[in-house]
């Protein structure tokens, strides 16, 4: 079929009638599918149930250095868990790691909150400043944007490129505006596009010369080990060492967790940074907590053992979700290829596919999907303030539905893309 934009009004009207009939037929099926968030399937969670047996009432509950995990102590994490999380984050120094509780999102929230109320390494608390700004590469992670929005921080959209954020813009804002205090980054298999930052991008981050002494890169390495393929794996430079080489050791905060490795809500999370940043975080921890769940940390290490054990486990995860990604991409290629009404990414890892519809169509497509029983992530969610200036980007989360459900959902999605695109083209023709 030729591109929709090349069709006459009569051809578009005929196509719309056909698509309307197909849509009504699908609505009659009473679908109830959820593609709104990147969740592991029950089968993936079942695969990890052995973690629950890694410790029992007869287990030795001491760490490798002899500390009883049932008691007080080791506020910054047990040594073997620190080593495991350091390896997950790409080989950061173990002494630069703190192991927290179950979610890296909580660490990010605390880090922003602490900066607001107490400042960063002795700088003025952000709450006392007239203006605080954050750079937000977009499309990006909606929960990042929600944190900065909650604290009233002004968010500035930075376009994404195939190499990562537009670094010309990043460098300009960071070097010229002392109100710019941070930037959100998902450097590997970014949410939602699946982009991994190039070596040049990472080095340019490390070489930033901020106008603000308290500027920090919030490096959310959420998908560090979430590859879809054994033979096609993105690798990124280790940002802490790059910052140190560039003479800016304090400029980055790195975060990671096992939320999609073991159990969401019952994993372990970690923070990595410079010696000075780690010391500051520990100072606040002594007041905030008596320590995180060391028993859960021990459980994870006893079960996974080391980075090789983690990698073997992640290959099992990939075996579950890779076919779903490939199925969605096959439907997109077959049904939308050549029609010039959408573009989509082909990620090598992570949990999402990013789809860009014709400008002005995303909200209508998501609404059509919901009308027929498929819930998608809200259009605009991948941009600061939930406002996609082009109303174009849609995040597809293929992981949770079964293979059969995924096929149904993908078929409905492309049908809605076609229908909304035809309606928009007809409206434009009418307006000429």
> Residues 139, 174: one domain?
yes
> Residues 288, 183: one domain?
yes
Element (H, E) at 284: helix 275-288
pLDDT tens digits for range 105-136 = 999 999 999 999 999 999 999 999 999 999 99
More confident residue, 323 or 38: 323
Question: Average pLDDT of the chain?
Answer: 96
Q: Which pLDDT band, with edges at 50, 70 and 90, does 406 fall under?
A: confident
Q: Which of 305, 335, 353 is the last residue of a domain?
A: 305
CA 35, distance to chain mean position in Å, is 15
Residue 180 pLDDT exceeds 80? yes
pLDDT for position 297: 98
Residue 167 covered by a domain: yes
**C-alpha span between 105 and 143 (Å, rounded):** 8
Give the residue from 296, 417, 299 showing the smallest Cα distance to 356.
417
pLDDT for position 34: 85
Residue 8 pLDDT exceeds 90? yes
> Residues 13, 91: one domain?
no
Q: Which of 305, 326, 354 is the last residue of a domain?
A: 305
> Residues 159, 260: one domain?
yes
**C-alpha span between 384 and 387 (Å, rounded):** 6
> Residues 237, 131: one domain?
yes
Question: What single string gives the DSSP state of each residue in 300-358?
Answer: HHHHH-SHHHHHHHHHHHHHHHHHHHHHHHHHHHHHHTTT-SEEE---SBSS-EEEEES
> Residues 166, 186: one domain?
yes
| Strand ranges (E), 96-222 | 97-99, 133-138, 154-161, 164-165, 180-185, 216-220
Proportion of the chain above pLDDT 90, given as a percent: 94
- pTM, entire model: 0.96
Q: Are 139 and 354 in contact (CB under 8 A)?
A: yes
Residue 6 pLDDT exceeds 60? yes
> Residues 104, 26: one domain?
no
Residue 82: give its domain's CATH number.
Answer: 3.40.640.10
**C-alpha span between 259 and 190 (Å, rounded):** 16
Domain span at 368: 4-44+311-431
**C-alpha span between 208 and 361 (Å, rounded):** 37
Q: Which pLDDT band, with edges at 50, 70 and 90, does 276 fall under?
A: very high
pLDDT tens digits for range 200-221 = 999 999 999 999 999 999 999 9
Residues 349, 351, 353, CA angle at the centre, nearest 5°? 85
For the residues 187-195, what does the mean pLDDT come to? Answer: 97
295 CB neighbour count, 10 Å cutoff: 14
Residue 273 pLDDT exceeds 60? yes
Non-local (6+) Cβ contacts of 5 within 8 A are 340, 425
For the residues 398-414, what does the mean pLDDT come to? Answer: 90
Residue 331 covered by a domain: yes
Residue 191 covered by a domain: yes
Residue 263 covered by a domain: yes
> Residues 288, 319: one domain?
no
Residue 110 covered by a domain: yes
> Residues 325, 294: one domain?
no
Residue 55 covered by a domain: no
314 CB neighbour count, 10 Å cutoff: 19
Domain count for the chain, please give it: 2
For the residues 171-177, what does the mean pLDDT come to? Answer: 98
> Residues 316, 298: one domain?
no
148 CB neighbour count, 10 Å cutoff: 23
Residue 325: give its domain's CATH number.
Answer: 3.90.1150.10
> Residues 354, 281: one domain?
no
Residues 143, 149, 150, CA angle at the centre, nearest 5°? 90
Q: Which of 281, 305, 329 is the last residue of a domain?
A: 305
* Token output for 89: 């984050």
Indicate the DSSP class of residue 116.
H
Q: Which pLDDT band, with edges at 50, 70 and 90, does 431 fall under?
A: low
Residue 100 covered by a domain: yes
Q: Quick check: helix, strand or coil at residue 292?
A: coil
Residue 50 covered by a domain: no
Half-sphere exposure (Cβ direction) of 193: Cα atoms closer than 13 Å: 22
Residue 432 pLDDT exceeds 90? no
> Residues 128, 181: one domain?
yes
CA 301, distance to chain mean position in Å, is 24
- 10 Å CB burial of residue 357 (0-12, 13-18, 19+) is buried
């Amino acid at each position: 079929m030729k591109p929709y934009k090349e069709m006459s009004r009569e051809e578009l009207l005929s196509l719309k009638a056909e698509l309307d009939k197909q849509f009504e037929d699908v609505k009659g099926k009473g679908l109830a599918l959820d593609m709104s968030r990147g969740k592991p399937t029950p089968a993936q969670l079942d695969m990890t149930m052995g973690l629950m047996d890694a410790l029992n009432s007869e287990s030795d509950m001491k760490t490798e250095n002899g500390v009883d995990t049932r008691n007080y102590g080791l506020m910054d994490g047990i040594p073997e868990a620190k080593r495991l999380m350091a390896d997950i984050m790409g080989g950061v120094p173990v002494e630069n790691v703190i192991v927290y509780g179950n979610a890296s999102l909580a660490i990010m929230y605390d880090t922003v909150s602490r900066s607001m109320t107490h400042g960063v390494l002795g700088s003025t608390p952000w709450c006392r400043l007239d203006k605080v700004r954050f750079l937000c590469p977009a499309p990006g992670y909606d929960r990042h944007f929600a944190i900065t929005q909650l604290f009233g921080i002004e968010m500035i959209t930075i376009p994404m490129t195939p190499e990562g954020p537009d670094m010309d813009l990043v460098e300009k804002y960071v070097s010229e505006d002392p109100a710019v205090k941070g930037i959100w980054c998902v450097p590997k298999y970014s949410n939602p596009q699946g982009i991994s930052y190039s070596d040049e991008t990472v080095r340019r981050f490390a070489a930033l010369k901020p106008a603000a002494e308290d500027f920090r890169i919030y490096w959310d390495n959420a998908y560090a080990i979430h590859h879809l393929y054994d033979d096609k794996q993105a690798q990124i430079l280790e940002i802490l060492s790059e910052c140190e080489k560039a003479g800016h050791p304090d400029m980055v905060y790195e975060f990671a967790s096992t939320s999609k490795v073991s159990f969401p809500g019952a994993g372990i999370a970690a923070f990595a940074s410079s010696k000075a940043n780690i010391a500051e975080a520990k100072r606040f921890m002594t007041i905030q907590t008596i320590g995180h769940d060391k028993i859960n940390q021990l459980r994870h290490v006893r079960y996974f053992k080391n980075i090789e054990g983690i990698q073997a486990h992640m290959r099992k995860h990939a075996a579950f979700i890779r076919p779903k990604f490939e199925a969605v991409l096959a439907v997109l290629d077959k049904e939308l290829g050549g029609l010039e009404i959408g573009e989509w990414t082909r990620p090598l890892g992570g949990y999402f596919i990013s789809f860009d519809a014709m400008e002005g169509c995303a909200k209508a497509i998501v609404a059509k999907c919901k009308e027929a029983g498929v819930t998608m992530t809200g259009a605009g969610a991948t941009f600061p303030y939930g406002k996609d200036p082009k109303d174009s980007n849609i995040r597809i989360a293929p992981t949770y539905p079964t293979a059969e459900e995924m096929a149904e959902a993908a078929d409905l999605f492309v049908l809605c893309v076609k229908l909304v695109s035809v309606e928009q083209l007809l409206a434009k023709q009418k307006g000429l």
